[in-house]
Amino acid sequence: MPRGMPHGNSFRKFGGPDKRLHLLKTLVNALIKHERLETTFAKAYETQKYVERLIDITKYGKSNLYCNDMVNFWVPEEAQQNKLFNVLLPRYSEHSRKYTRLAVLTEWTDKDMKSHGKMAVIELKGNPLPPLPVKEDNPHTLQNVLLAAAKQDWDYQRSNVKEN
């Protein structure tokens, strides 16, 4: 395997470590502001990971030092910080992990436009914009019902064990 592709996962450079962090900072900020972005697939994929981790960190609370540091770095604008804590946190309080949705767009078939590359759309779930035409898993089919019921069972057992 060539360098930069261990185990098939691509490690992208984005022009260097400093430039990369700056780019991702702006993208995370923009996602929180607009709740839906259209960028290249590579940038969307990376911001997805950072945004979901950010929201997990904010669940520790505003008084947490680590949380404050992280939020001050990744979301420099004040307005977006307030939006994170006041709007997005209550929205995702019961959501467990996947807060964003990544939809890949079709590629340009025209040769002149080929330089655009693979484009994608990220959005935060539960946003007020009209929905994307993405195929979601049907939660009412048999296997999904069974899995949801099994998950409930395990959560219940785990909470019982913790109390005891």
Q: Which residues bind another protein (CB under 8 A)?
A: 135, 138, 140-143, 145-147, 149-150, 153
User: With respect to another protein, which residue has the nearer C-beta, 13 or 135?
Assistant: 135
Cβ neighbour number for residue 120 with a 10 Å cutoff: 18
Nearest-approach distance from CB 134 to another protein, in angstroms: 12
Count of CB atoms situated within 10 Å of the CB of 124? 21
Q: Which is nearer to another protein, 111 or 135 (CB)?
A: 135
Least distance between another protein and beta carbon 68 (Å): 39
Taking the C-alpha atoms of residue 9 and residue 110, their distance in angstroms, rounded to an integer, is 29
Structure tokens belonging to residue 28: 């995370």
Sheet containing 36-40: order of strands? 36-40, 119-124, 100-104
CB nearer another protein, residue 78 or residue 137: 137
What is the nearest approach in angstroms of another protein to the Cβ of residue 151? 10
Helices and strands, number each (H, E), in the chain: 6, 3
Smallest separation, CB 58 to another protein (Å): 31
Is 100:124 a contact under the CB 8 Å cutoff?
yes
When the beta carbons of 86 and 141 are compared against another protein, the nearer one is 141
